[in-house]
């Protein structure tokens, strides 16, 4: 996996979240969202053989985020709100920049994203 282009970055508390266009080898591009301090992507959007874009969430990266969360629950709620907005905007950028004319399975209703929210916001 080779990070090609940094598309956007956001700072949320003591974490930096970055979206990259990534070369996965064999001319396969994906859009991946990384958390500072963690090598593997938190979220990876990549194409299958039928040209459908699938979104996968790395549970280890989610646990890493949870271990770095602030103690202030009000701030955590605000950070998650910003994170959620960032993810949705990243999805749109990925669709436009990497996955033109391909069916994207949107993360908006992802059970993984809801699990991250529950884990991050709860005490």
Q: Read off the pLDDT of residues 58-97 as tens digits, 9 standing for 90 and up.
A: 999 989 998 888 899 999 999 999 998 998 888 888 888 8
Select the highest-mean-pLDDT range: 49-53, 79-83, 95-99, 103-107.
79-83
Query: Which residue range(s) make up the domain with 55?
Result: 2-121
What pTM was estimated for this model as a whole?
A: 0.85
Secondary structure (3-state) at 93: helix
Residue of 32, 78, 79 whose CA lies nearest to 58:
32
Return d(Cα 102, Cα 9) in angstroms, integer: 25
pLDDT-derived band at 17 (thresholds 50, 70, 90) equals very high
pLDDT for the residue numbered 75: 93
Residue 49, Cα to own-chain centre: how many angstroms?
A: 22
What distances in angstroms separate CA 96 from CA 19, 60, 81, 102, 113, one per listed residue? 14, 28, 23, 10, 22
pLDDT at position 50 over 90? no
Per-residue pLDDT averaged across 105-113, rounded? 71
What total number of domains does the chain contain?
Answer: 1
């Amino acid at each position: 996996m080779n990070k090609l282009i940094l598309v956007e970055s956001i700072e949320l508390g003591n974490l930096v979240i970055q979206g990259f266009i990534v070369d996965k080898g064999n001319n396969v591009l994906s859009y991946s969202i990384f958390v500072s301090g963690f090598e593997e992507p938190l979220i990876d959007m990549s194409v299958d053989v039928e040209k459908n874009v699938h979104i996968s969430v790395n549970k280890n990266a989610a646990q890493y985020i949870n271990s770095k969360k602030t103690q202030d629950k009000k701030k955590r709620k605000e950070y998650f709100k910003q994170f959620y907005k960032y993810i949705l905007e990243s999805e749109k950028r990925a669709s436009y920049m990497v996955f033109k004319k391909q069916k994207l399975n949107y993360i908006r209703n992802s059970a993984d994203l809801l699990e991250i929210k529950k884990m991050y916001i709860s005490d």
